[in-house]
Structures are given as C-alpha cells and as structure tokens.
Amino acid sequence: MARERVSVVGLSGAGISAESGINTFRDAGGLWEGYAVEEIATPDAWNRNPELVQKFYNQRRKAVLSSEPNSAHLALVELERYFDLTIITQNIDDLHERAGSSDVLHLHGQIRMAQSSLDASLIYPIEGSEIKMGQLCEHGSQLRPHVVWFGEAVPAMDRAIPIVERADILIVIGTSLVVYPAAGLLEFVSTGVDIFLSDIKQPEYRFSSSVQFFEGPATVGVRAIVDKLTARAQKV
C-alpha cells in the first residue's frame, strides 16, 4: 500500500516577490503620485475616479509582467516531488505559477485578470498589460482589476481555511502577519503541526505551536527550509 503523502501548505506574502523586483504595497512611504495607496485601492476610490485606479493597477501589472520568479519561488516547486504542496498567497502576482507550482490559491485576487465591476464572479484574462476604460464585461459593465480592495470581503478564505486545517507542515514566507483576514489562517493550524517561518525579521504574531525561524531574505530562508524538508522526506 502506498504511503499517504504529507500535506504542506505555504503561506506567502510580499517578501517573496520583493526579490523579484516587485515593490511591496506600501513602498515609497505608502504614496503613489501623491495619493495614499489605501485611498487608491478601495471601492470608494473606484467610484470617485476609476481612471486613476485603473492607471495605478495597469502600472503594477506592467511591473509584474517585467519580473521573473526568483530562487525562493523555484525552491518551493521542488517540494512537490515529495509532498502534497498547496501555496496560499497574499500576492496578486503570478510568480508562483510561472515558477511551476501546480496548486496556488490567491487570497487577494490576480493582477493579470479582470473582473466585472458589478458582478465579481465574472473574471477574464487580460490581453497585454492594461485594462482600458470602455472595456466591458458581457453584461455591459466596466472591467476592473481582479483584486480584493480594502473594505471588500476575501471570498477565497472559505477555500483556504480547510486547506490549512489539513496541513501537516506549514511554511510562512515573507509576511508580517498583520494583515487580516489572511493572518487569521494561523488560527486554524492543528496542534503539533511543524511551522517554518522565513522573513527578514520575526513577526510579533504569537504562534500556538513551536516555530523554526529563518531570518533573512526569502531566497535564503526558503532554500534552507526546502533542503531540511526534502532531507527529512528522503529518510522516510
């Protein structure tokens, strides 16, 4: 009888993409062309000035398209040889997919997709780097970025919670664990689960289980975690 594969969940944040040249959301002092990013990324901002919001995300999309997965993204792919790996990411880029990860859940949407401004269930791939004003969904409403804005629900949480509950091993990468509801996923980790944490500094979050912390950039920390886990798997 085949041995059941161990379930590993990777929870990734902005720190893993930063080394690919994608600025974190609050870089440049939290301002974009003189606007606070929290004012750009809200439904109210869209209602007030959709052209400005569209421009902001079109520029972010261009940055994603010009970036490449780094060695941390690539290292995670190696785990699929030995484990059932699911990536739950707070990032809206597609670097995990381009690196080769086969099971990725985006909590906050995907920058390379568009959605109807009236019906969030209508989602479309974007050709090129821009959503243009006047591009409409099948029911005639303006297309907007497929991104969860401040003040909006995070529907993917309903899928993420049972994934975390089933995890045998949790890897947390490049996140400060202060953004909710994403940080609340840690409350669903079962007792005794091995937790590995890679970040430039240890977050203040109080874990209920013991944590192996790897301080430094994701390209260093994730490589060390993957080496440790693959060595463990090869001994079994």
* Residues designated as active site: 108
Token digits of residue 158 = 């309903």
**DSSP, residue by residue, 131-180:** PPTT-B-TTSPBEEEEEPPTTS--TTHHHHHHHHHT-SEEEEES--S-ST
User: Would you say 82 and 56 are in contact if contact means Cβ atoms under 8 Å apart?
Assistant: no
Bridge-based pairing of strands 123-125 and 109-116 is antiparallel
Distance CA(90)–CA(110), nearest Å, equals 10
Q: How far apart are CA 226 and CA 214, in angstroms?
A: 12
Question: Nearest 5°: phi and psi at 124?
Answer: -135, 145
CA–CA distance, 16 with 33 (Å, rounded to integer): 25
- Helix residue ranges per DSSP H, the chain: 14-18, 37-40, 43-48, 50-65, 71-78, 95-99, 157-165, 218-235
